[in-house]
């Protein structure tokens, strides 16, 4: 494992000695080999100490594979500008993300958690679509740094009283006898992660970042970056387990209302990228429900959602990018009637839309059943809100699919060109994990 990490670092500096075509082929093949090595040579059922303060378990193992796979898919997209710098940033980001998941020290996790903002900030600022990318990149920087400052104070305090920030020593602490101080501590330690996920009421920066980021930045945000927030909440809840049972109900209520509100908001969006970004917030809300239930089935359901969301949302962003490349617009009104012009693309839009609403035989069906059983066991009184949320989540997916491919098309779309082989390959590699892993569900559960 340590050899794989060192090899990834060496790869960062070796990209300057290749021409662009050989570089992309080299990186694609290497990442494919690393994915196979992870799958074949790791005992993912138990804790696995990699090297002193590097550890691995099932949750980290799944997320590392997800990152390798998503970054490899990004290199399948044609890069037409500043090739070496762009590849350098992506590989730097990949190493930071892997290190943030395998470290066993909370402060080291915090360092990598914050450093990963630098590459994504440069990607949005340097390769965004419009001049508003400056505001979007500043939004994500200011929001996340401001939210992380309370966590830094908490880490200093924990180190002062516990003399260690190792995950194994920070478990089920009882720090204060005052309920107000416990609530402040609870909120401060979670605030950094609920903003970076983000959840409802803290989600303002995410649509802006998705709209202004290039397609590779959107895929990174949806498929890779947002999972760090869920991982951070999981580790933090283990520290504050004693009073999580008291305060988690507040986030439960906010998330159930947020799922319904954001789903209704999706029905009035006319920008395809904003619609997919808001739908991502809805799925993040379901992840939060699984985490805050503090039950084993919530853990497995959340793990399935994270794995599925990484491929399904990034696949939808890539489909929006395919339309934008051909029609030069993300507006729903400008991309109508595409069934007559791009009949092959309709299959992929249909598959990703229905897989996003948990139609069998998708992996989403398993996680939906697991989480619904878990949440109803936690409290049967929320069944009404869950039914409304599930209904509206299906409605806006069917709305976007029917509105794009049916109706009368604009005359300027007659010059639209068909999909390339590379587009189909990228979509297939997004789709395979969503459909095949249901045959091997004991791989995760």
- Per-domain boundaries in the chain: 1-104, 131-239, 246-445
At 443 the pLDDT is: 59
Q: Is the pLDDT of residue 445 over 80?
A: no
**In angstroms, rounded to a whole number, what is the distance separating the alpha carbons of residues 9 and 122?**
20
Q: Enter the tokens of residue 202.
A: 């803290």
> Which residue(s) pair with 417 in the sheet?
none
For the cut 60, the answer to whether the pLDDT of residue 57 exceeds it is yes
pLDDT at res. 178: 75
Q: Residue 38's pLDDT is what?
A: 61
242: pLDDT strictly greater than 70? yes
Q: Which two tokens stand for residue 359?
A: 């139609």
pLDDT at 374 (0 to 100)? 81
- Give the tokens for residue 412: 């300027």
Provide DSSP, 249-304.
HHHHHHHHHHHHHHHHHHTT--BHHHHHHHHHHHHHHHHHHHHHTTSHHHHHHHHH
**How many residues would you count in the chain?**
445
Render pLDDT for 5-22 as a digit per residue (tens, 0 to 9).
666 666 666 555 555 555
* C-alpha–C-alpha distance, residues 55 and 333, integer Å: 50
Longest Cα–Cα distance in the chain: 70
pLDDT of residue 392 exceeding 80, the answer is yes
The confidence score (pLDDT) of residue 30 equals 64
Q: Which one of 8-12, 76-80, 191-195, 207-211 scores highest in mean pLDDT? A: 191-195
Phi then psi for residue 301, to 5 deg, are -65, -40
Contact 325, 422 (CB under 8 A): no
Question: Residue 401 in contact with residue 323, Cβ under 8 Å?
Answer: no
Please state the φ and ψ torsions of residue 418, each to the nearest 5 degrees. -75, 175
Q: What is the pLDDT of residue 2?
A: 58
| Contact in structure between 206 and 283 (CB atoms under 8 Å) | no
Q: Name residues whose C-beta falls within 8 Å of residue 291's C-beta, 6 or more positions apart in sequence.
A: 230, 233, 234, 237, 298, 299, 302
352, 273 Cβ separation under 8 angstroms = no
CB 385 within 8 A of CB 260: yes
């Amino acid at each position: 494992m340590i050899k794989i990490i060192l090899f990834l670092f060496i790869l960062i500096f070796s990209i300057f000695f290749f021409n662009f075509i050989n570089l992309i082929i080299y990186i694609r093949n290497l990442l494919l080999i690393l994915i196979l090595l992870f799958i074949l040579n790791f005992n993912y059922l138990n804790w696995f100490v990699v090297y002193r303060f590097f550890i691995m378990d099932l949750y980290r193992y799944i997320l590392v594979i997800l990152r390798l796979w998503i970054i490899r898919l990004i290199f399948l997209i044609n890069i037409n500008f500043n090739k070496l710098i762009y590849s350098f940033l992506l590989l730097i980001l990949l190493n930071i993300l892997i290190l943030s998941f395998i470290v066993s020290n909370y402060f080291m996790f915090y360092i990598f958690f914050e450093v990963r903002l630098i590459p994504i900030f440069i990607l949005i600022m340097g390769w965004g679509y419009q001049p508003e990318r400056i505001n979007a990149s500043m939004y994500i920087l200011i929001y996340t740094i401001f939210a992380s400052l309370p966590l830094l104070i908490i880490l200093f305090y924990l180190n002062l009283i516990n003399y260690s920030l190792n995950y194994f020593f920070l478990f089920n602490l009882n720090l204060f006898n005052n309920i107000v101080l416990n609530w402040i501590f609870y909120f401060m330690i979670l605030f950094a992660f609920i903003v970076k996920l983000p959840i409802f009421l803290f989600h303002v920066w995410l649509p802006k970042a998705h709209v202004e980021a290039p397609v590779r930045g959107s895929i990174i945000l949806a498929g890779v970056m947002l999972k760090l927030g869920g991982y951070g909440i999981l580790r933090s809840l283990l520290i504050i387990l004693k009073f999580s049972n008291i305060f988690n109900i507040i986030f439960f209520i906010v998330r159930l209302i947020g799922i319904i509100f954001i789903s209704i908001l999706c029905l009035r969006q006319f920008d395809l990228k904003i619609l997919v970004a808001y739908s991502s917030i809805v799925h993040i809300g379901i992840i939060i429900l699984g985490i805050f239930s503090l039950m084993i089935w919530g853990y497995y359901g959340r793990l399935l959602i994270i794995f599925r969301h990484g491929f399904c949302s990034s696949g939808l962003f890539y489909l929006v990018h395919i339309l934008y490349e051909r029609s030069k617009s993300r507006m729903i009104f400008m991309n109508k009637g595409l069934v007559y012009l791009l009949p092959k693309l309709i299959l992929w839009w249909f598959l990703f839309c229905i897989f996003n609403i948990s139609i069998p035989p998708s992996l989403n069906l398993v996680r939906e059943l697991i989480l619904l059983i878990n949440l109803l066991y936690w409290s049967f009184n929320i069944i009404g809100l869950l039914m409304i949320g599930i209904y509206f989540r299906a409605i806006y997916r069917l709305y976007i699919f029917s509105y794009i491919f049916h109706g009368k098309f604009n005359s300027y779309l007659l010059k639209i060109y068909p999909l390339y082989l590379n587009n189909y390959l990228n979509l297939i590699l997004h789709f395979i994990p969503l459909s095949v892993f249901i045959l091997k569900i004991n791989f995760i559960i």
